[in-house]
Amino acid sequence: MALPVRRRLPVLSLLLLEAGGLRAAERSSSAMEEIATEKEAEESHRQDSVSLLTFILLLTLTILTIWLFKHRRVRFLHETGLAMIYGLIVGVILRYGTPSTSGRDKPFSCSQENRPFTTLLVNVSGKFFEYTLKGEISPGKIHNVEQNDMLRKVTFDPEVFFNILLPPIIFHAGYSLKKRHFFRNLGSILAYAFLGTAVSCFIIGNLMYGVVKLMKLVGQLSDKFYYTDCLLFGAIISATDPVTVLAIFNELHADVDLYALLFGESVLNDAVAIVLSSSIVAYQPTGENTHAFDAAAFFKSVGVFLGIFSGSFMMGAVTGVVTALVTKFTKLHCFPLLETALFFLMSWSTFLLAEACGFTGVVAVLFCGITQAHYTYNNLSVESRSRTKQLFEVLHFLAENFIFSYMGLALFTFQKHIFSPVFIVGAFVAIFLGRAAHIYPLSFLLNLGRRHKISWSFQHMMMFSGLRGAMAFALAIRDTATYSHQMMFSTTLLIVFFTVWIVGGGTTPMLSWLNIRVGVDPDQDPPPTNDSFQVLQGDGPDSERRNRMKQESAWLFRLWYSFDHNYLKPILTHSGPPLTTTLPSWCGLIARCLTSPQVYDNQEQLREEDSDFILNDGDLTVTYGDTTITANGSSGPHTATTSLDGRRTKSSSEEALERDLGAADHEVTSRGTRLVFPLEDNA
């Protein structure tokens, strides 16, 4: 029986009231959720600020301690070692002094999926939330996921190191390169960097494969560890970074040739190590066993190495050339701020462009820095030259110390450490033997073709100076997804700590024990030996110094210099001889368009810093009286004249040569016989 109308109204009212109450409750719940979300966002922002402030305070404390050490002349610990110590202290505080703030992690099963997703959308009570893939977690560690939000915040994405912190470090190495001593030892540096790094990589990789087999026999290996993983570890740990040793060398003014060998090797060695690691990763044999040796895959990896290195080199050089052309043919020098900003952006973009194209940014930005220093630097205004030098020096200092500070933190904040005593001890033995096989046999072979031999004391110091640093750490942390890579990262971290603290701290005593010269003027040349060329009579010590440097320059560099000085420098910079004098006459229009007006305006050509290395045919002469016999046997009158006051006046050809050598102010006051014997070049 139906209810009367007056009895149905209260029931309807109750239903409406209940519905309104539910909507009000939903609105209240939604408002509470929004407030909670806002509080979480605010808390996350605060933690981000605290994490960045932590690193800034670490760097500030490091700088103040460096000043104290320099003031007290303390050399047993370098600034990078200090940064690591402070990082360790802060890591201990964050690990054991901050409470866990997050307990909302809950595993969900997706058994129907056979692969992970990069981005995941999760429906929670009708609201969709986006989650991104962070990495794989082994089943045994599912309940050991980091519950401390602060420790999560101070753990950076590895790409931060590659895309932000490494470029200024590598670019500064190329931009601040001292060309004179670098090119004098170019052959030896290339041998150590390329052949030596490859030898070290394969020796360490094979020794570590033996260690892995031993670990498997004694039951110390709980997961897969392939031969290619061992080779990858060899490539990673072969990246030397003797920043501590070089800083002490620079402060003590140690022997310039030893400094050039170590610095040049470390600069190119980083580039070779990263390309080697990329080639090993690209090694993919065909068939079921993807980790067995395959000749086709091996040669493919060699091709990948050559392709990546040459492509990265070309990309860096081309970017530097483009920047030089822009700064030459525009009026940017009138606006130093814009000029500096463009220089900075073009240099940094080289790294990202190479990475985006599948090449190696480290190699590209290194050769971009060398090209910028050789060409673009000559086109910059005085203000921009000073600004760019100081800018990249500061960025290099901050980035390097930031990385070493983070190393200290990572020892306690990284959640995937795997420390194996057998692997660690084997790694230390392997890097010692790999470094020895790298230095001593190569030095013996190089000394067969060098006039200034690499002495045993130099070889021992180079062996001792094989520190590992920022590049090895950045390569190791880039991929920690598997068991083997996690063990490699933990071991690399300990090796970096040991070499920076122990080996770096022993640099000064080692210099003294090996009797290596210190307090040497960077422009001072080594004392002549019995087999060196002789200046029998003559034009004074300046001429002797120039001739010695030209004799000592690497033959490879001398072949390159003539083309560079006569054509590339005039095209890309405001220095060098006018193209109208070096190009054929039928290229006159092009020569006039490409030659800078400053070249015609300047009576004295800009000094070439590297021109002291060049040995021209005209320098291989015997001069007697007014007759000159050239290297090819021809002779002719010496066209120099004598002024009224008795001084010898140089001919136009002599003036051009001395301008090219940057010694136009050197005045010859005596007349006699000069004999120069060409000897073998340095390797």
Residues 376, 324: contact at Cβ < 8 Å? yes
130 beta partners: 121
Q: Closest Cα to residue 98, out of 152, 59, 143, 44?
A: 152
On the question of pLDDT at 7 being above 70, the answer is no
Query: Cβ–Cβ contacts within 10 Å for residue 168, how many?
Result: 26
What pLDDT does 594 receive? 81
What pLDDT does 555 receive? 61
On the question of pLDDT at 336 being above 50, the answer is yes
Between residues 545 and 131, which one has the greater pLDDT?
131
**Residue entry with tokens 């110590």:** 85
On the question of pLDDT at 22 being above 90, the answer is no
Residues 371, 599: contact at Cβ < 8 Å? no
Mean pLDDT, the chain, integer: 76
Distance between CA atoms of residues 313 and 245, nearest Å: 28
The secondary structure of the chain in percent helix, strand, coil, rounded to multiples of 5, reads: 65, 5, 30
Give percent of the chain with pLDDT exceeding 90.
Answer: 30
Distance between CA atoms of residues 178 and 49, nearest Å: 40
In Å, how far are 410, 417, 537, 539, 616 from 623, measured between CA atoms? 67, 71, 11, 12, 15
Between residues 266 and 542, which one has the greater pLDDT?
266
On the question of pLDDT at 436 being above 90, the answer is yes
Helices (DSSP H) in 73-165: which residue ranges?
79-97, 149-153, 158-160
Query: Cβ–Cβ contacts within 10 Å for residue 642, how many?
Result: 10
Helices (H) and strands (E) in the chain, counts: 29, 8
> For 612, which DSSP code?
G
CA angle centred on 460, ends 458 and 464, rounded to 5° = 115
What pLDDT does 419 receive? 92
On the question of pLDDT at 317 being above 90, the answer is yes
**pLDDT digits 0-9 by tens, 67-113:** 988 888 777 777 788 889 999 998 888 888 777 655 555 666 666 56
In Å, how far are 143, 357, 588 from 140, measured between CA atoms? 8, 39, 76
What pLDDT does 563 receive? 83
The answer to which of 6-15, 122-131, 440-449 has the lowest mean pLDDT is 6-15
Q: Would you give the end-to-end CA distance of the chain in angstroms? A: 113
What pLDDT does 18 receive? 54
What pLDDT does 31 receive? 66
What pLDDT does 88 receive? 92
Task: Determine the 3-state secondary structure of 130 from DSSP.
Answer: strand
Distance between CA atoms of residues 479 and 305, nearest Å: 20
**pLDDT digits 0-9 by tens, 240-291:** 887 767 777 877 788 888 888 998 888 899 889 999 998 888 876 655 555 5
Between residues 553 and 67, which one has the greater pLDDT?
67
The answer to which of 423-427, 607-611, 631-635 has the lowest mean pLDDT is 631-635
Q: Give the 3-state DSSP-derived string for 446-492, with helices as H, strands as E and coil as C.
A: HHCCCCCCCCHHHHHHHHHCCCECHHHHHHHHCCCCCHHHHHHHHHH
φ, ψ (nearest 5 deg) of residue 451:
-80, -45
**Residue entry with tokens 């909507």:** 23
What pLDDT does 34 receive? 67
What pLDDT does 589 receive? 83
**pLDDT digits 0-9 by tens, 345-396:** 999 999 999 999 989 999 999 999 999 999 999 899 999 999 999 999 999 9
What pLDDT does 668 receive? 34
What pLDDT does 655 receive? 43
CB contact burial 358-367 (16+ within 10 A = b; e otherwise) = ebbbbbbbbb
Give percent of the chain with pLDDT exceeding 70.
Answer: 68
Tell me which H or E stretch contains 231: helix 227-237
Q: What is the amino acid identity at position 107? A: P
What pLDDT does 201 receive? 94
Q: Closest Cα to residue 180, out of 438, 540, 440, 545?
A: 545
Residues 219, 244: contact at Cβ < 8 Å? no
On the question of pLDDT at 683 being above 70, the answer is no
Distance between CA atoms of residues 78 and 42, nearest Å: 39
Distance between CA atoms of residues 571 and 612, nearest Å: 21
Task: Determine the 3-state secondary structure of 651 from DSSP.
Answer: coil
The answer to which of 411-420, 490-499, 506-515, 579-588 has the lowest mean pLDDT is 579-588
On the question of pLDDT at 498 being above 80, the answer is yes
| C-alpha 4 chain-centroid distance | 90
Query: pLDDT class for 342, splitting at 50, 70, 90?
Result: very high
What pLDDT does 657 receive? 36
Query: What are 596's two structure tokens?
Result: 């800078």
Distance between CA atoms of residues 88 and 81, nearest Å: 11
Interval 490-497 mean pLDDT: 94
Distance between CA atoms of residues 327 and 34, nearest Å: 53
Helices (DSSP H) in 330-455: which residue ranges?
336-356, 361-371, 377-379, 382-413, 421-447
Supply the pTM of this predicted model: 0.77
Distance between CA atoms of residues 155 and 108, nearest Å: 24
The answer to which of 428-442, 455-469, 631-645 has the lowest mean pLDDT is 631-645
Maximum average pLDDT range among 94-103, 276-285, 446-455, 639-648: 446-455
What pLDDT does 199 receive? 94
What pLDDT does 278 receive? 87
Q: What is the amino acid identity at position 524? A: Q
What pLDDT does 356 receive? 92
Rg of the chain over all Cα atoms, to the nearest angstrom: 32
Interval 438-460 mean pLDDT: 91
Distance between CA atoms of residues 507 and 523, nearest Å: 23
Query: What are 666's two structure tokens?
Result: 């050197």
Angle, helix 295-329 to helix 256-281, in steps of 10 degrees? 120
Residues 260, 184: contact at Cβ < 8 Å? yes
Interval 503-521 mean pLDDT: 83
Between residues 136 and 487, which one has the greater pLDDT?
487
What pLDDT does 617 receive? 39
What pLDDT does 526 receive? 55
Interval 167-188 mean pLDDT: 86
What pLDDT does 335 receive? 93
**Residue entry with tokens 């170590």:** 262
In Å, how far are 386, 407, 428, 598 from 547, measured between CA atoms? 31, 48, 45, 30
